Amino acid sequence: MYHHVKKLMFTVRVDEPDPRFGNMLLEQFGGANGELAAAMQYSIQGLNCEDPDRKDLLMDIGTEELSHLEVVGTLARMHLKPAKFDRQAAEADPLIAIAGGGGVNLFNSQGNPWTADYLKITGELDVDLRSNIAAEARAKIVYERLINFCDDAGTKDALQFLMTREITHMKAFALALESMNKPVFSVGRIAPTPGLVDQFFNDSTGTGEHGEIDTRGPWNEGNGWVFTESPAIQAEPGAGTVIVTESSPPVDEAGLEDLLIDELRDILHAEKQLTKALPKMAEAARFDQLRELFEQHLAETENQVERINECFDLLGKTARAKPCKGMMGLVEEGQEVMAEGEEKENVAADLALIGAAQRVEHYEISAYTTAKNLAQQLRHSAVVALLSKSLAEEENSDQLLNQVARSLMSVAKMPAAIERAEQ
Is residue 344 helix, strand or coil? Answer: coil
For 168-264, where are the E strands, in sequence order? 199-202, 226-229
**Residue 228 forms beta bridges with which residues?**
201
The answer on whether 343 is annotated among ligand-binding residues is no
CB-hemisphere CA count at 13 Å for 335? 10
Q: Is 4 exposed, middle or buried (0-12, 13-18, 19+ CB in 10 A)?
A: exposed
Nearest one of 119, 116, 129, 118 to 55, comparing CA atoms: 129
Contact status, residue 282 vs residue 298, Cβ threshold 8 Å:
yes
What angle separates helix 256-284 from helix 288-315, to the nearest 10 degrees?
Answer: 160
For 84-222, where are the E strands, in sequence order? 199-202
Q: How far apart are CA 101 and CA 377, in angstroms?
A: 63
The answer on whether 221 is annotated among ligand-binding residues is no
CA distances from 90 to 5, 109, 155, 195 (A): 32, 15, 21, 61
Contact status, residue 363 vs residue 330, Cβ threshold 8 Å:
yes
The answer on whether 169 is annotated among ligand-binding residues is yes
Q: How far apart are CA 10 and CA 70, in angstroms?
A: 10
Contact status, residue 305 vs residue 271, Cβ threshold 8 Å:
yes
CA angle 187, 188, 193 (to 5 degrees): 75
The answer on whether 4 is annotated among ligand-binding residues is no
**Residue 226 forms beta bridges with which residues?**
199
The answer on whether 342 is annotated among ligand-binding residues is no
The answer on whether 313 is annotated among ligand-binding residues is no
User: Cβ of 12: how many Cβ atoms within 10 Å?
Assistant: 20
At 101, which amino acid appears? G
The answer on whether 35 is annotated among ligand-binding residues is yes
Binding-site residue positions for Mn(2+): 35, 65, 68, 136, 169
Binding-site residue positions: 35, 56, 60, 65, 68, 136, 169
Binding-site residue positions for Ca(2+): 56, 60
